[in-house]
Amino acid sequence: MSSPAATETLPAATPAAAHIFTTVLSHGPLTRLEVARRAGLSAAAVTKAVRPLIESGYLVEEADTGAGAHTEVRPALGRPATLVRVDGGRALFIGVKLTGDEIIGVLTDLCCRILLARRVPLAGRDPEAVLATAADLVRELLTEADGYGVRVAGLGIAVAGDVDRAEGVVRYSPFLEWRDVPLAGLAAAVTGLPVTVDNDVRALTVAEQWFGAGVGLSDFAVVTVGAGIGCGLVVHGRVVAGAHGVAGEIGHVTVDPNGPPCHCGNRGCVEAIAADAAILARIRETGGTEVAGTAEAVDRARHGDTDAREAYARAGEAIGRGIATVANLLGPARVIISGEGLAAYDLFAEQIREAFTAAAFGSAAQCDVRTRPLPFEEWARGAAATAIQCFITAPN
Amino acid sequence: MSSPAATETLPAATPAAAHIFTTVLSHGPLTRLEVARRAGLSAAAVTKAVRPLIESGYLVEEADTGAGAHTEVRPALGRPATLVRVDGGRALFIGVKLTGDEIIGVLTDLCCRILLARRVPLAGRDPEAVLATAADLVRELLTEADGYGVRVAGLGIAVAGDVDRAEGVVRYSPFLEWRDVPLAGLAAAVTGLPVTVDNDVRALTVAEQWFGAGVGLSDFAVVTVGAGIGCGLVVHGRVVAGAHGVAGEIGHVTVDPNGPPCHCGNRGCVEAIAADAAILARIRETGGTEVAGTAEAVDRARHGDTDAREAYARAGEAIGRGIATVANLLGPARVIISGEGLAAYDLFAEQIREAFTAAAFGSAAQCDVRTRPLPFEEWARGAAATAIQCFITAPN
């Protein structure tokens, strides 16, 4: 996180207050008692922290109509309990995902609900060209935001590759061919917004942790399949970033040392077998026929083409082994499979499951492996989630 | 941790006080200023927490003679600064490691320094027989402890396999062929001591984190080589236990799907190639000759036997790939290789290094991979470290 802009953050004076706000954000609406229980704090601490957040409009109170998700603690008969929830409309955020071909942008509220989504093609990949296109997109979204009469409080940018979030620098982006681009500072200068830059899979993992299938779990993994095979890890309640910036490289778990060459220099990595391009290459190789793209490959496989079916089956087996490796090393409670590649999930779901079960060690097989469809704007929503995270937890 | 015995713990009234004590234990002697800086707390908080710990004799003050390890903050000229350190002799602990053949026990001080070490062979592997032998060993160490005139404040027991530390239950121990043995409760009943039971590699990892090569690192791994291939992981400053009890199973990372069968049911796991028995099997298979044990295999390899050398080289490559997988997924700052297998390190060090470097992705290769010799009593010391950890952090 880095920004020359005047940053406004939440009136949460302490880490405990930020924790309370996050608890309401992820689990609300909740009674104060439920907030205290879930946050592991005293009722007095919750009351103290909640007051300024209500006064500033970030939290609102409402009567418990019995329709909420807070089923664990029922109010006693008589006077209905008061629930606390986040007013999502109190602040807006912009999330931007950069790919090698296009930029996807979303405007979200404080609860990370998407209000608008836009995608624009990239004219060039050098930082100046990308930044100019991104700035135009952000300005467009800022104009739209004016219609809501609410301030945009932060911009999150997600990029595949080696990203140093603390410094706001893209160390290496293979798709954009960038090295050491100080993106947070550059974007803050042109947009005037506080900017958070993070790796795209880690950003998606933050969105799952705070607003998705990871809510309430201290240990889980997100595995994305598609153009690349990525992985975001949450251990002890925090996203793993790696001491040297690399973490979650499930794509480079070796499945077969004699397998196809990988761009990393090794052979038989999960990515060299299960990424979209690897599946196409396999179909061309075994079938001796051309295949234009992923849509055609999926279509052929669904119509019974043996080579296409085998390529997807092999991909599924590689992904299942990669997931088992994560489970054997970290023992996550859940693995969430997502990504554009899920569109072909029917072609390799069974192989993922079988390979995972065979390679999971002992009780690691109890890990809850599930899928979650990922609309194209979800990557940008992940970027917005990192901006919301910074807005809440940044030092005041 | 579980115990019917009357437990005495440190007079550390708050988590902050326990954190301060641990900081002095791992890094001391330190000035109060250094304690505050390292613990991330105010000087006032340190002063408040330190007072009862000094009064009860767990911490002592001494004049800074300039001979300590605290080199970062030098006292100003004039009056010498006062240093705070743990009085190791204020409490004693017993650590016990159970193997399939013998029990190793140590008596340590509060700084986890070994005062005495004992090993006794096991007569049988059923829980009653093992418990009886362990109880005799503990009683012997308690008698020896009387000579120090200091109370033994806790007993740690370490066992290979699936151990539920929170419940004090050995879920599954392959070497002892145990399932669901409530070891902490049984051992507490016969010894009268507070008992902590943990997986042996995780216990060793605690010892490295608090007293060894992991001091000051929030993310590191311990990899043990020998009869099995184990791994303890510290992520975000805490040992990873896994949501379902399994974590750190580097031994079951697949190196070669067509490799030798593994006891886990798969093929080509690190353990199926690099564990002691796997190395012997490989020498027998390629050489067509008998080999009595690890000592003979090492001897043959050191004298140039091609089959023995190849088997060790293959083991080194498997271990290096396993370590690279850990580095690619978690990005630890350091990997500490230890275990009895290190006695043959000259036979596979180069292959570990080469395979790690080849398979590490990008900056994950910057991970500091180092070795640390492991005397036989070190496993028992790990068990003592878990007892010290419980003594410090248990609720008062």
Q: How many Å apart are CA B182 and CA A7, to the nearest integer?
A: 54
Tabulate helix, strand, coil % of chain B (nearest 5).
45, 20, 35
Q: How many Å apart are CA A187 and CA A387, to the nearest integer?
A: 13
Kindly list the strands in the beta sheet with B162-164, ordered across the sheet, starting from the edge strand earlier in the chain: B162-164, B169-173, B178-181
User: Does A253 sit within 8 Å of B363, measured CB to CB?
Assistant: no
pLDDT of residue A76: 53
- Selecting from A162, A243, A254 the residue whose C-beta is nearest the C-beta of B332 gives A243
- Three-class SS state of A273: helix
Q: How many Å apart are CA B67 and CA B278, to the nearest integer?
A: 48
Per-residue pLDDT at B394 exceeds 90: no
Q: Which residues contact A306 (CB under 8 A, 6 or more apart)?
A: none
State mean pLDDT over B53-69: 81
State mean pLDDT over A2-26: 75
Is residue A3 in a domain?
no
- Kind plus residue range of the DSSP H or E element containing B158: strand B152-159
Q: Which residues contact B302 (CB under 8 A, 6 or more apart)?
A: B346, B347
pLDDT of residue B77: 56
A192 & A117 share domain = yes
Contacts of A172 in chain B (CB under 8 A): 362
Q: Are B166 and B158 in contact (CB under 8 A)?
A: no
User: Does A244 sit within 8 Å of B333, measured CB to CB?
Assistant: yes
B60 & B32 share domain = yes
A25 & A170 share domain = no
User: Does B266 sit within 8 Å of A358, measured CB to CB?
Assistant: yes
Exposed/middle/buried for residue B15 (C-beta within 10 Å: 0-12, 13-18, 19+): exposed
Q: pLDDT tens digit string along A313-341? A: 999 999 999 999 999 999 999 999 999 89
Interface A-B: count of C-beta contacts within 8 A = 147
Exposure b/e, B33-69, CB count within 10 A at least 16 = b: ebbbbbbebeeebbebbbeebeeeebbbeeebeeeee
A96 & A240 share domain = no
State mean pLDDT over A38-59: 92
User: Does A364 sit within 8 Å of B231, measured CB to CB?
Assistant: no
According to DSSP, residue B81 is labeled P
Test the A interface: residue of B180, B330, B336, B363 with most A CBs within 10 Å:
B330
Is residue A39 in a domain?
yes
B304 & B338 share domain = yes
Q: pLDDT tens digit string along B181-193? A: 999 999 999 999 9
Domain CATH number, residue A75 = 1.10.10.10
User: Does B236 sit within 8 Å of A236, measured CB to CB?
Assistant: yes
Domain boundary among A89, A114, A144: A89
* pLDDT interval class at B351 (50, 70, 90): very high
Q: Which residues contact A363 (CB under 8 A, 6 or more apart)?
A: B162, B171, B244, B245, B246
- Selecting from A242, A249, A363 the residue whose C-beta is nearest the C-beta of B246 gives A363
* pLDDT interval class at A362 (50, 70, 90): confident
Per-residue pLDDT at B396 exceeds 90: no
Q: Are A268 and A259 in contact (CB under 8 A)?
A: yes
Is residue B79 in a domain?
yes
- Pick A395 or B197 by higher pLDDT: B197
Q: How many Å apart are CA B212 and CA B205, to the nearest integer?
A: 9
- What one-character-per-residue DSSP string does A363-376 give? GGGGSEEEE----T
**How, if at all, do strands B220-224 and B334-338 pair?**
parallel
Over chain B, what is the mean pLDDT?
A: 91
Kindly list the strands in the beta sheet with A59-63, ordered across the sheet, starting from the edge strand earlier in the chain: A30-31, A82-86, A59-63
Q: Which residue of B has its CA nearest to A237?
A: B236
* pLDDT interval class at A4 (50, 70, 90): very low
Is residue B191 in a domain?
yes
A140 & A272 share domain = no
Total count of domains within chain A: 3
B308 & B239 share domain = yes
Is residue A9 in a domain?
no
Task: Decide if A316 touches B, using CB distance below 8 A.
Answer: no
Q: How many Å apart are CA A240 and CA B359, to the nearest integer?
A: 20
A84 & A96 share domain = no
User: Does A240 sit within 8 Å of B331, measured CB to CB?
Assistant: yes
Is residue B2 in a domain?
no
User: Does B358 sit within 8 Å of A265, measured CB to CB?
Assistant: yes
Q: pLDDT tens digit string along B100-120? A: 899 999 999 999 999 999 999
> Which residue shows structure tokens 């490295």?
B208
A264 & A365 share domain = yes
Handedness of CA B356, B357, B362, B364 (dihedral sign): positive
Domain boundary among B87, B118, B143: B87
Supply angle C-alpha A283, A284, A287, rounded to 5.
75
Domain boundary among A39, A72, A89: A89
- Selecting from B247, B265, B325 the residue whose C-beta is nearest the C-beta of A253 gives B325
A224 & A361 share domain = yes
Amino acid at B276: D
- Selecting from B171, B243, B255 the residue whose C-beta is nearest the C-beta of A332 gives B243
State mean pLDDT over B283-301: 94
Q: Which of A356, A310, A312 is nearest to A332 (CA)?
A: A356
Q: How many Å apart are CA A18 and CA A26, to the nearest integer?
A: 12
Q: pLDDT tens digit string along B364-389? A: 999 999 998 888 899 999 999 999 99
State mean pLDDT over B56-65: 88
User: Does A330 sit within 8 Å of B325, measured CB to CB?
Assistant: no
pLDDT of residue B5: 41
A239 & A185 share domain = no
Q: Which two tokens stand for residue A81?
A: 């309990």
- Selecting from B244, B247, B250 the residue whose C-beta is nearest the C-beta of A366 gives B244
B116 & B160 share domain = yes
Tell me the Ramachandran region of residue A383: left when phi exceeds 0, alpha when psi lies from -120 to 50, beta otherwise: alpha
- Pick B75 or B354 by higher pLDDT: B354
Per-residue pLDDT at A250 exceeds 80: yes
Residue B261: count of CB within 10 angstroms of its CB: 11
Residue numbers of B between 157 and 186 with CB closer than 8 Å to A: 162, 171-172
Q: How many Å apart are CA B169 and CA B164, to the nearest integer?
A: 5
According to DSSP, residue B333 is labeled S
Domain CATH number, residue B286 = 3.30.420.40
Is residue A5 in a domain?
no
Q: pLDDT tens digit string along A149-170? A: 999 999 999 999 889 999 999 9
Minimal C-alpha gap between B157 and chain A (Å): 22
Contacts of B362 in chain A (CB under 8 A): 162, 172, 245-246
Range(s) of the domain holding residue A142: 91-207+378-393
Q: pLDDT tens digit string along B237-276? A: 999 998 888 899 999 999 999 999 998 899 999 999 999 9
- Kind plus residue range of the DSSP H or E element containing A284: helix A276-287
pLDDT of residue A66: 62
pLDDT of residue B2: 41
Contacts of A331 in chain B (CB under 8 A): 240-247
Is residue A1 in a domain?
no
Per-residue pLDDT at B44 exceeds 50: yes
Contacts of B219 in chain A (CB under 8 A): 242-243
Per-residue pLDDT at A71 exceeds 60: no
Per-residue pLDDT at A299 exceeds 80: yes
Interface ipTM: 0.89
